[in-house]
């Protein structure tokens, strides 16, 4: 557990920002999708309700165009009391049949009754802010919509709970005063083009609402999963990134230690041979005050003009640099010069390297004065040894010579003795 907490604490701050951004993106997407879903869920219902209204408008125009239409009086179709002032509201045909005048609104009401009996359970209502007939009074939603009609709008729709407690999609279109309407409505003070009222069509949408809720749930779950997945991916990525960063830091530190504690001068150069940076050993080696002084120089500037073999340093340096740039192994000895003018023998290794897509050169320089001294003294010893060796051989030769002489002398004296004894 503690390990996990440490890991979380160690995660770089950028990850938290990414995670936050992901939350915002997921939330924005969910909101937008929910809104789209809600707005378009009722599209079909809306189109149907609107079509129903438009058709009714045409029937009404037909009726109004005739100044009302005569139909037989039955139990359900009684004369309209609001037309009582019209002289020929009720007529009797030559054969004695009784007819009554049906105005458009009356026709609408009868159409709406038939509509309600229909399987869909749709409700129609003709209404106005100034109803002649009390039952045509607008309900709360209709009143608010009629007010917007007065302000210039021509239709409205919304999802509402109605008096029966059920959810309905409600559409309402306006009814403007046309020439044909004035016959009966002019007395109320209406002029051509005024808003006389409207017809609302309400469609029960319980099935649609259930479907919408189902879709909303699916959308929510989908987003939650995507959101969670995003978190997991980002989190794992973040942990990996943090680990990689720590590893990079470790490598960097190791490199820094190597670089700064190296006794060899390590310098970074541009491809033209200009110094870019150098470690402490290089500053000391060339007797510079600091790195700032060191980087004012170039590689040939660190050498005397002429090398001991008589070649120009600039030429050698240029040749070696080209070789290094071609990735050829580049290891050579030459003489370098300190700021104070003194020279010393060195061993140089030039290598090409890529840093952030840029080509640079790295020079490792080793001061080999001590090695040279050691070599010199070794050489001296060797000559001494050789001399000693030669002397030894000569002495041995001399000894052998002497021995031989002694042996010869001994042999000669023995010969003399034998002569005496014989
Ligand atoms: C033949 C006479 C007659 C004509 C023509 C007529 N109306 Fe009406 N209208 C009435 C009467 C009467 C009522 C009130 C009683 C009812 O509901 O039938 C009414 C009611 C209405 C209502 C319902 C609100 C209320 O006041 O109760 C609206 C809306 C309406 N008419 C609009 C119109 C429009 C628009 C036209 C023209 C296209 C028109 N009428 C043509 C007689 C007429």
Residue 280 CA: distances (Å) to CA of 250, 284, 298: 21, 6, 17
Asked if 110 and 77 touch (Cβ cutoff 8 Å), the reply is yes
| Band of pLDDT at residue 234, cut at 50, 70 and 90 | confident
Residue nearest to atom 40 of ligand 1 (CA): 181
Asked if 219 and 34 touch (Cβ cutoff 8 Å), the reply is yes
CA separation for the pair 59, 112 (Å, rounded): 13
Using alpha carbons, select from 58, 64, 277, 335 the residue that is nearest to residue 178.
64
Q: Which residue bears the tokens 């003399």?
A: 416
Mutation test residue for ligand 1: of 63, 102, 185, 188, the one with most atoms within 8 Å of CB? 185
Residue 6 has pLDDT above 80, yes or no: no
Task: Write down the pLDDT at residue 121.
Answer: 87
| Band of pLDDT at residue 1, cut at 50, 70 and 90 | low
Q: If you measure from the C-alpha of residue 337 to the centroid of ligand 1, how many angstroms do you get, rounded to a whole number?
A: 114
Task: Write down the pLDDT at residue 16.
Answer: 78
Provide CB contacts within 8 A for 76, sequence distance 6+: none
Mutation test residue for ligand 1: of 103, 178, 180, the one with most atoms within 8 Å of CB? 103
Q: If you measure from the C-alpha of residue 103 to the centroid of ligand 1, how many angstroms do you get, rounded to a whole number?
A: 6
Q: Would the CB of 181 count as within 6 Å of ligand 1?
A: yes
Q: If you measure from the C-alpha of residue 205 to the centroid of ligand 1, how many angstroms do you get, rounded to a whole number?
A: 30
Q: Would the CB of 307 count as within 6 Å of ligand 1?
A: no
Burial-class residue 149 by CB neighbours within 10 Å (0-12, 13-18, 19+). buried
Atom number, ligand 1, closest to the C-alpha of residue 133 = 27
Residue 418 has pLDDT above 90, yes or no: no
Mutation test residue for ligand 1: of 184, 186, 194, 199, the one with most atoms within 8 Å of CB? 184
Q: If you measure from the C-alpha of residue 244 to the centroid of ligand 1, how many angstroms do you get, rounded to a whole number?
A: 81
Q: Would the CB of 104 count as within 6 Å of ligand 1?
A: yes
Q: Would the CB of 80 count as within 6 Å of ligand 1?
A: yes
Task: Write down the pLDDT at residue 286.
Answer: 93
Please say whether the dihedral angle defined by the alpha carbons of residues 346, 351, 352 and 353, taken in this order, is positive or negative.
negative
Q: If you measure from the C-alpha of residue 145 to the centroid of ligand 1, how many angstroms do you get, rounded to a whole number?
A: 19
pLDDT single digits (tens) 238-288: 888 888 888 999 999 998 888 888 889 999 999 998 999 999 999 999 999
Residue nearest to atom 34 of ligand 1 (CA): 181
Using alpha carbons, select from 224, 249, 239, 222 the residue that is nearest to residue 18.
239
Residue 13 has pLDDT above 80, yes or no: no
Within 10 angstroms of residue 70's Cβ, the number of other Cβ atoms is 15
User: What integer is the mean pLDDT of 377-399?
Assistant: 93
Atom number, ligand 1, closest to the C-alpha of residue 188 = 26
Residue 422 has pLDDT above 60, yes or no: no
pLDDT single digits (tens) 69-82: 999 999 999 999 99
Residue 139 has pLDDT above 80, yes or no: yes
CA separation for the pair 409, 422 (Å, rounded): 21
User: What integer is the mean pLDDT of 398-419?
Assistant: 87
User: What integer is the mean pLDDT of 211-221?
Assistant: 92
Q: If you measure from the C-alpha of residue 94 to the centroid of ligand 1, how many angstroms do you get, rounded to a whole number?
A: 29
| Band of pLDDT at residue 145, cut at 50, 70 and 90 | very high
pLDDT single digits (tens) 302-347: 999 999 899 999 999 899 999 998 887 788 999 999 999 999 999 9
CA separation for the pair 412, 400 (Å, rounded): 18
Asked if 146 and 140 touch (Cβ cutoff 8 Å), the reply is no
pLDDT single digits (tens) 16-60: 788 888 889 999 999 999 999 888 888 888 999 999 999 999 999
What percentage of residues in the chain have a pLDDT greater than 70?
95
Residue 4 has pLDDT above 70, yes or no: no
CA dihedral 163→166→171→177, nearest 10 degrees, is -20
Residue 90 has pLDDT above 90, yes or no: yes
Using alpha carbons, select from 255, 316, 86 the residue that is nearest to residue 185.
86
Q: Would the CB of 364 count as within 6 Å of ligand 1?
A: no
| Band of pLDDT at residue 2, cut at 50, 70 and 90 | low
Residue 5 has pLDDT above 70, yes or no: no
Task: Write down the pLDDT at residue 52.
Answer: 94
Atom number, ligand 1, closest to the C-alpha of residue 64 = 5
Task: Write down the pLDDT at residue 44.
Answer: 87
């Amino acid at each position: 557990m503690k390990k996990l907490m440490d890991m979380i604490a160690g995660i770089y701050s950028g990850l938290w920002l990414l995670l936050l951004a992901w939350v915002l993106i997921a939330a924005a997407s969910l909101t937008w999708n929910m809104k789209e879903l809600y707005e378009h869920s009722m599209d079909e219902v809306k189109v149907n309700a609107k079509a129903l209204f438009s058709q009714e408008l045409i029937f009404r125009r037909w009726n109004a165009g005739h100044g009302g239409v005569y139909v037989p009086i039955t139990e359900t179709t009684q004369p309209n009391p609001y037309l009582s002032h019209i002289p020929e509201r009720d007529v009797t045909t030559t054969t004695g049949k009784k007819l009554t005048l049906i105005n458009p609104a009356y026709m609408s009401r009868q159409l709406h009754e038939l509509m309600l009996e229909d399987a869909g359970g749709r409700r129609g209502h003709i209404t106005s802010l100034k109803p002649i007939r009390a039952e045509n009074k607008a309900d709360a939603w209709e009143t608010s919509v009629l007010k917007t009609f007065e302000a210039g709008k021509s239709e409205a729709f919304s999802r509402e709970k109605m008096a029966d407690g059920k959810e309905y999609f409600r559409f309402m279109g306006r009814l403007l005063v046309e020439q044909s309407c004035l016959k009966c409505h002019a007395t109320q003070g209406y002029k051509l083009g005024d808003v006389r009222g409207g017809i609302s069509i309400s469609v029960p949408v319980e099935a649609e609402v259930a479907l919408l809720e189902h879709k909303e749930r699916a959308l929510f779950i989908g987003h939650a999963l995507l959101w969670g997945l995003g978190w997991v991916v980002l989190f794992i990525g973040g942990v990996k990134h943090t680990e990689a960063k720590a590893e990079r830091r470790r490598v960097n530190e190791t490199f820094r230690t190597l670089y700064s504690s190296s006794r060899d001068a390590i310098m970074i150069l541009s491809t033209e041979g200009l110094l870019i940076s150098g470690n402490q050993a290089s500053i000391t080696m060339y007797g510079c005050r600091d790195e700032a002084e060191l980087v004012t120089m170039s590689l040939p500037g660190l050498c005397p003009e002429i090398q001991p073999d008589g070649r120009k340093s600039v030429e050698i340096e240029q040749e070696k640099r080209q070789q290094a740039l071609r990735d050829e192994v580049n290891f050579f000895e030459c003489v370098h010069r300190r700021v104070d003018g003194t020279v010393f023998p060195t061993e140089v290794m030039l290598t090409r390297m890529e840093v952030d897509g840029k080509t640079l050169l790295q020079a490792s320089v080793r001061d080999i004065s001590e090695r040279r001294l050691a070599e010199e003294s070794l050489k001296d010893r060797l000559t001494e040894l050789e001399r000693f060796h030669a002397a030894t051989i000569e002495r041995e030769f001399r000894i052998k010579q002497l021995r031989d002489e002694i042996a010869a002398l001994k042999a000669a004296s023995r010969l003399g003795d034998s002569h005496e004894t014989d």
